[in-house]
Amino acid sequence: MRLILVVILCVCGACYAQDKDDRLPAAVAQALAQAGLPLSSIGIYVHEAGAARPVLAVGDTRALNPASTIKLLTTLAALDQLGPAYQWTTEVYASAAMQGDILAGDLILRGSGDPRLTLENFWLMLRDLRARGVREIRGELVLDRSLFAGVEAGDAGSFDNEPSRPYNTQPDALLVNFKSIRLNFIPDGSRRAVNIVAEPALPQVQIVNNLALSNEPCGDWVEKLKVGVTGDATTARLSFAGNFPLACGEKERHFSVLSHSQYMLGLFSVLWRELGGSFAGGVRDAPVPAGARLVLAKPSQPLVDVIRDINKYSNNVMARQLYLALGAATFGAPAAADKSARAITQWLDTRRLSVTELVLENGSGLSRVERLTARGLGQILLYASRSAFMPEFVSSLPLVSVDGTMRKRLKDSDVSGQAHIKTGSLAGARAIAGYVLDAKGRTNVLVFIANHPRAAEAIAAQDALLKWVYAR
């Protein structure tokens, strides 16, 4: 048995040795070998800012799926083209004159694609509306979503057959709260029950709670839930069964289960009532009619805050909204994915960044077809390091072992707090890209992309590369 094991190890070692690249740091090569990842599956590019040649380049011209690291291109192009202070404006119109505090006509909302129209910001907008004297609305809620009229209606489940997951929410010119519902699971040990609290609690969504409280370790608590989602675009039923461990404490999950219009109707009705308003109408989609009166215009947070959320927390929905907004700002309304792709490629050309291998779909990385080379992404990051808005861009990336998607990695290592790194994760793809401030005070651009059925195992090799760049 021992002899057989030795032979197997030797054979495997020989297989890897045939694909060996002596340029790789030993720790990185070892981690790749242990993960069973061949060099043909990776692209690595490391370049010190200001240097003429890269420090390390292996498979760097290979077109790979960059997963969410493509967000770096989307956000950088937007920063450069639109400016860090760029804002979106959501407008509120009335179709009729006020009669005291009564609007006898429709209330019309026109969206501009704001990626960050959160529940809180929407509530503030409605509060401003109430402060302007509007109490009762006797008409309907009309949604002008025409800015994104050129965007093909997508199937939320087409990417991974998970249509109720919020990251699959389709873009919309009037997207509020990411069209999601947060469910809080609150264990009650004295009653041996699990309470489920929805925020917002929409009338079109029914929650059926058949959860049992258990005393088992928390572990992967999501896997212990049996979730059922039924209904149509106007109503939904979320049912929960299985065990919820008391040891988990309070947990939360997010769901997207209604159409954009029905979600907006439910949310508006609930919030308007809470603010002391009256509304009993329905909802329909239509452009702002001629003669409608502008009641208020609500600006968004500036772009610099938006890109921070996109990159720190890898928000796919916000990235897709920004991607479409960039195309519309460059080539005019309505927004469309092909306009956005042209806007970015045009920007690359004007900045003399040759990225001929680039394939764009939605600019978020939630794609099976997007492609970019490690060298191409590295060159884009080098350009950003020389730009006037470099501080805004770099600070939007997760800080290693501190925040965002890198907060749990490389704890207690020398590179902790010394690198701003964007992550990317898909089935078959793992990537990191960003900046490392090394032990000698030099700024280094780093890109590591792995495409392989075992790509999830590339994390150790990526961490090894980060450590090597810091210490070199």
pLDDT tens per residue across all 472 residues of the chain: 333 333 333 333 333 333 556 689 999 999 999 999 999 999 999 999 999 999 999 999 999 999 999 999 999 999 999 999 999 999 999 999 999 999 999 999 999 999 999 999 999 999 999 999 999 999 999 999 999 998 877 677 778 878 888 889 999 999 999 999 999 999 999 999 999 999 999 999 999 999 999 999 999 999 999 999 998 878 999 999 999 999 999 999 999 999 999 999 999 999 999 999 999 999 999 999 999 999 999 999 999 999 999 999 999 999 999 999 999 999 999 999 999 999 999 999 999 998 989 999 999 999 999 999 999 999 999 999 999 999 999 999 999 999 999 999 999 999 999 999 999 999 999 999 999 999 999 999 999 999 999 999 999 999 999 999 999 9
d(CA 223, CA 219): 9
Q: Output Rg (C-alpha) for the chain, integer angstroms.
A: 25
Where in the chain are all domains bearing CATH 3.40.710.10? 22-85+304-471
Helix (H) or strand (E) holding 42: strand 42-48
Closest CA to 77 of 354, 392, 348: 348
Helix (H) or strand (E) holding 327: helix 316-331
What the block records as the tokens of 382 is 């080098």
Closest CA to 45 of 370, 372, 426: 372
Q: Does domain 22-85+304-471 have CATH number 3.40.710.10?
A: yes
In order of 107, 128, 318, 386, the CA distances from 91 in angstroms are 11, 12, 19, 37
What b-and-e string marks burial along 176-185, b requiring 16 or more CB atoms within 10 Å of the CB?
bbbbbbebeb
Where in the chain are all domains bearing CATH 3.50.80.20? 89-158+169-175+259-301
Residues 417, 418, 424, 430, CA torsion sign:
negative
Residue type, 428: G
Let me know how many helices (H) and strands (E) the chain has, helices first. 11, 20
Given a contact cutoff of 8 angstroms between Cβ atoms, the answer to whether 144 and 288 are in contact is: yes
Closest CA to 48 of 354, 372, 378, 376: 378
* pTM strictly above 0.75: yes
Phi, psi dihedrals of residue 143, rounded to the nearest 5°: -110, 120
Angle at 403 between CA 397 and CA 404, to 5 degrees: 60
Superfamily of segment(s) 89-158+169-175+259-301:
D-Ala-D-Ala carboxypeptidase C, peptidase S13 (3.50.80.20)
